[in-house]
Structure 1
């Protein structure tokens, strides 16, 4: 009997939980029997095909972000893979040997204040990172906090963002604030849930008792009543917990860093002791350094500068602004952090990311360089500088940085991907494909790596392999519009026009403002003689973006194809008003003027195209045509020779042979066949 493997890979060892909305398995990789994973099967509340497609897209986007987040911090459960099978969604997580916090928060056995503060501090530090990625956990509870067996650190698991994306339902209301129940989740919804966990730990309450506690609210304020004067709890800690679980999220702590700041104030005595210890250590080290300095100069001792509460809060605000796309605001906040602490490598790193997003590659490079100077072992800083250098066109330097990032972390799929992009720019096609393939091997769901490898394979005329890459992306994420578009381009090159039409249409259905897909679908319609459909696509582009020059050029070519030369001239003229140096518009308008018998205007347009770009083969060829008609034999021969040379350099054999034939005819080396002379110029697409 054959054992079914999930995704053809994961063998179920044990069912850990079988609930209404999800089923959880302990599994192993059939190829690595010693491995252990947690596989969660999320059951969708919808069977509608369109709804499932939307859910798949949402699911893929959420899991991709969580995958990167797990790589950022080892106290966040790593997401290994995700897939869909029989209209069910599956997530594969790392298995973390250890015990959930439910084993520590036991009814009738309260934890000490120090234990609760340590618990809060550790989880809040994880939430700082989680929230900086724009993610809200949504399901913080004792069962989702594991104390890892290997180092006794707390690990945050099972992000509720995935459950809600698929099932659209919520559970465990005892830890959930009112705004989340009303589907208006905020970052500080996680703070509320953690506050409830802390209260349960401090009082030794079970989940059932927490449910009852939530019902014991102040009738006037709606706040939870859990603390009284008879309860021996540090008053300052009680104030912090009360602020964490305020009913109105606007009156609650807004950021995890704010809670951490107040917890530090409670532990002032401990901090003072640490400071005294550091002073003693400094004295000892300074003494040693003084001895060493004799005869060899001054020994400089540099201890890490502690980050102030205000700096930490400001840094977190900068991260939050970055996560929401407010890059200018992020730069402003991080500027202040750096001004007060010029040694803050993380602030330089993140500010560099923000500058990169703003297109200021020089400043992004400078910030990454400073981060590297402060921390030469920071692979992420080399990675960031690599992208900045690529933005500046310094691809060799970028490759060196990506290589250094890989040396520091050989499992960094993103560094291989970035190096592949840079190598492709330098025409190192073999190296680029190798890097994209390595990125895929490390991260099998890495759709961007498949996309770039597919594009490069198409350029190398490996079209079947390119289509396989695009097929793989669509299998991973059926809502990836770029994959359909790129596959459509490949199908079109293969002269599979109807297949290309379908792909472009799928891309447009996913992204109704996908201008490039409309443009190429319009071209295919035009080639097939579908006059109305092609015109509609070009018109749609100009409704989306009236300044998209290529739409005017392509609509002009389409109009020219069925004899609307005046309409074509209008389109090319419109393109030239937007860009007076558009060579294709001059070239093609010259062709339209030629068809209307206006040789003078045609000659002017071809000459203008040549003046702008002296290596434009089509313009020379077309001017050769007009000069032939004007009986300017020597001028025509000169133009055709120039065109032939340029066509040959570009490897355009058919056009090269056309130009050579015209030269032979003009030099009377062969007689022209009937109807062999060109009646019009060659058309150019920009």
Structure 2
């Protein structure tokens, strides 16, 4: 073997892999007794010195992160060193004595379900740490999962985050479509692990996994891997199917979610008790329906003559519910209720389906019936609480959440629901307490952190709010909402550039995040970045041509640099979408006035006032016109009305402006030529605002 020592200390013992993008060797350190390492030589696809400099810097940054990861978790392969020699880059990794998972997943020899669950749980625990540190493995496959000889634990090796620098995609069998397209997500790792689980359950080696790609549903792109011959726990199959969803947005978002579902599946306590599962909350509001409930508890209580039909109906109803076929689910649950009128679980689940369809009255009625049949069913109280919330019956909702908490004091979701209702009743202290309790019970509860952060910002506890959003980002670095809400808070703290970065991060994660574009455009406009602001507003209207606020904000932006005709066009488009938008009339009046069309301006201000009698801006601006027209009494009346409204609204600066104009007019002076017209934005507030 080559006697040359790499970096003056590593002697190559043998070649482990000779790939196009990298060569891997087993080597020994001549300075250490009996110590072996894996040395990988990376082949960069360029010899251009400038490009190499950039690649080397990226490489060094990623290696530093991996060094830290290996120190934090015993089941992550340690990165020992890296160096450059003869314009080649090398990394030195820990050698793990053991066998890869390819030696356990053998052709025609499926692993048992408990083995697969154990495998998934062990790797997911590692991924929680990996993802929390902002790293994506990118190459999870059986070859990169080693069963360590010393303790039989699984070790995750060969992170592709380094090879990402040279665009390496060697294992397409395990690679989701968004990763192939360069739109890498944290749950891309979850997809790959799900495919590993399928291979283990089917007994498929890597060279046969590619067959699954040809078995995908042509319409949906979903992997079709189950058949009638395969006997598998359907709850486990459901978890795996959610891991490998074609659309990453419908997949589990991060590893803790999969772990939670696996723990429910394997928990003996969950099988013995009729403990209700958590809710899936709707995006940005936290309101949602229940997950699938088990049938065991009620199935054992049914008369034997009914044991065949009822469970089948329930299972079909649940399957339709999970597939978002809520009407079909309601039919099945209704038929089941006819056969078994005292089946509380059927009422409960039918109520969830009605909730999903927006029929909150019927959802409330079904939950009430479930409570009547089983007063100890905490889940029914919880469900009814959300139905009552949607019906704006907040006090009644709080009472139901409180009862759910009495029946199960460790239910984080009931505390969360009660907090939302308390916010509506302005009980901010109680809401903060509930959200804090929910977080104490479930420390990874990102939605609770989000709502607490929003509430803290409203209460001007801005640093505490930022800490909540920081916590979400640490748990799930791909949570666009957290970046967006932190950006809003940074604006209140007058940290415009920090807010710009947060909005940009939110947009990078979710390229169709309209609110983030809107707020970023406003900051660009305030900073005088004409082109950047215009691009953001234009992007919104490309995504949604009927997004009214974008026309209003772009109109204000155009007005700011003298494009009054363009501003009028935008406000006119806004009024086509909403003829009762007072802000659009007020702002269009400003633009008409700048062009010298006092008549049109006066009409627009008057129309804004007719729509909204408390529109202080329109009174103020109409006062400006009346002063120009020498209508002294009319102008004073408008400024007085504006001053009163500004004072009520806490607008001190605008109140002082109005008072100054009144004083000028009463002293028979004319200074309205320097008066600045006031524009208003019809804000599209962020979630939870």
Alignment of structure 1 residues 640-659 onto 2, 5 Å: 640-659=639-658
TM-score, normalization by structure 2: 0.60
The change in CA–CA distance for 1:340 and 1:6 in structure 2 (over 3 A counts) is: farther
SS at match of 1:40: helix
Structure 1 residues 44 and 573: alpha-carbon distance in aligned structure 2, compared to 1, 3 A threshold = same
1:192 aligns with 2:230: yes
Following superposition, the deviation at residue 8 of structure 1 comes to 12
Spell out, residue by residue over 1:262-288, the C-alpha distance to the aligned partner (whole angstroms, 9 max, x if none): xx9xxxxxx9xxxxxx9xxxxxxxxxx
Which moves more between the two structures, 481-490 or 178-187? 178-187
Q: Structure 1 residues 609, 8: CA separation in 2 closer, same or farther (over 3 Å shift)?
A: farther
Change (3 A) 1:335 1:623: farther
Partner of 1:73: none
In 2: Cα distance, 1:430 partner to 1:654 partner: 31
**1:40 aligns to 2:122 (yes or no):** yes
**Which entry has the higher C-alpha Rg, 1 or 2?**
1
1:540 correspondence with 2:539: yes
**What is the alpha-carbon distance in structure 2 between the residues aligned to residue 55 and residue 190 of structure 1?**
34
Q: Which residue of 1 aligns with 2:604?
A: 605
8 Å contact from structure 1 (residues 164, 170) kept in 2: no
- Alpha-carbon shift at residue 549 of structure 1 (Å): 0.5
| Residue 362 (1) aligns with residue 361 (2) | yes
**Secondary structure at the counterpart of residue 581 of structure 1:** coil
> CA separation of 1:380/1:304 partners in 2, compared to 1, >3 Å: closer, same or farther?
farther
Q: Deviations over 1:504-563 (max 9, x none)?
A: 111111111111111111111111111111111111111111111011111111111111
Q: Distance in 1 between matches of 2:384 and 2:304?
A: 25
Deviation of 1:321 (Å): 2.0
Q: Distance in 2 between matches of 1:471 and 1:174?
A: 38
Are 2:495 and 1:496 equivalent residues in the alignment? yes
Give the whole-Å Cα distance in 1 for the aligned partners of 2:479 and 2:231.
35
Q: Is the 8 A contact 1:43 1:88 kept in 2?
A: no
Indicate the residue corresponding to 1:560 in structure 2.
559
The reply on whether 1:380 has 2:379 as its aligned counterpart is yes
Change (3 A) 1:536 1:195: closer
Equivalence for 1:486: 485
CA contact 1:647–1:656 (8 Å) conserved in 2:
yes
Q: For structure 2, which runs of at least 5 residues remain unmatched after alignment?
A: 1-67, 76-96, 103-119, 141-155, 162-186, 217-222, 235-291, 684-689
The SS at the match of 2:196 is: coil
- Partner of 2:519, secondary structure, is helix
Q: CA–CA distance in 2 between the matches of 1:483 and 1:162?
A: 20
Residue 253 of structure 1 is matched in structure 2 by: none
8 Å Cα contact 2:351/2:364 also seen in 1: yes
Distance 1:617 1:337, change over 3 A: farther
- 1:365-444 to 2 correspondences below 5 Å: 365-444=364-443
Task: Report the aligned-residue RMSD.
Answer: 4.2
**Structure 2 counterpart of 1:176:** 202
1:511 paired residue number:
510
Secondary structure at the counterpart of residue 512 of structure 1 = coil
Offset of residue 44 of structure 1: 8.5
Question: Cα deviation per residue 1:209-261 (whole Å; 9 max; x = unaligned)?
Answer: xxxxxxxxxxxxxxxxxxxxxxxxxxxxxxxxxxxxxxxxxxxxxxx99x99x
**Which residue of the partner structure matches residue 61 of structure 1?**
none
Q: Deviations over 1:37-62 (max 9, x none)?
A: x98355989x9999975679x9xxxx
Query: Quick one: structure 1 residues 399 and 168, their matched pair in 2 at CA, closer, same or farther if it must change by over 3 Å?
Result: closer
Cα deviation code 1:653-684 (max 9, x no counterpart): 1122222222222222x967x78841423333
User: How big is the shift at 1:344?
Assistant: 2.2
Q: Cα offset for 1:308? A: 4.8
Shift of 1:316: 1.6
**Whole-Å separation in 2 of the counterparts to 1:351 and 1:410:** 26
Match of 1:149 in 2: none
Which residue of 669, 681, 686 corresponds with 1:684? 681
CA distance in 2, matches of 1:385, 1:174: 42
Q: Deviations over 1:429-475 (max 9, x none)?
A: 11111111000000000000000000111111111111110000000
Q: 1:307 to 1:369 in 2, by over 3 A?
A: farther
Instruction: Give the SS at the match of 1:555.
Output: helix
Cα distance in 2 between the residues matched to 1:424 and 1:43 = 35
DSSP-derived class of the 2:230 partner: helix
Residue equivalent to 1:98: none
Deviations 1:599-649 (A, max 9, x none): 111111111111111122222222222222222222222222222222222
2: CA distance, partners of 1:354 / 1:484: 32
Native 8 Å contact 1:44 1:167 kept in 2: no
Cα 1:43–1:523 change in 2 (3 A) is: same
SS in 2 for 1:170: helix
Distance, in Å, in 1 between the alignment partners of 2:203 and 2:674 is: 80
Please report the TM-score for the alignment, with normalisation by the length of structure 1: 0.60
Match of 2:447 in 1: 448
Is the Cα–Cα contact under 8 Å of residues 585 and 608 in structure 2 kept in the other structure? yes
Q: Matches of 2:305 and 2:365 in 1, distance apart? A: 24
Q: Hey, what's the Cα distance between the residues in 2 that align with 1:6 and 1:48?
A: 7
C-alpha contact (below 8 Å) 2:137/2:189 kept by paired residues: no
Against the structure 1 CA distance between its residues 355 and 85, is the aligned structure 2 distance closer, same or farther, given a 3 Å change threshold?
Answer: farther
Is the alpha carbon distance of 1:189 and 1:54 closer, same or farther for their aligned partners in structure 2, counting shifts above 3 Å?
farther
- Alignment match, 2:663: 664
Alignment of 1:58-69 (within 5 A): none
Distance in 1 of aligned mates of 2:529 and 2:498: 16
Q: Using the alignment, how far apart are the partners of 1:590 and 1:360 within structure 2? A: 43
State the 1:575 CA deviation: 0.8
Work out whether residues 73 and 126 of structure 2, in 8 Å CA contact, stay in contact via their aligned partners in 1: no
Partner of 1:63: none
Deviation, structure 1 residue 581: 0.7
The aligned counterpart of 1:315 is: 314
Distance in structure 1 (CA, Å) of the matches to 2:614 and 2:590:
18
The answer (yes or no) to whether the contact 1:44–1:166 under 8 Å persists in 2 is no
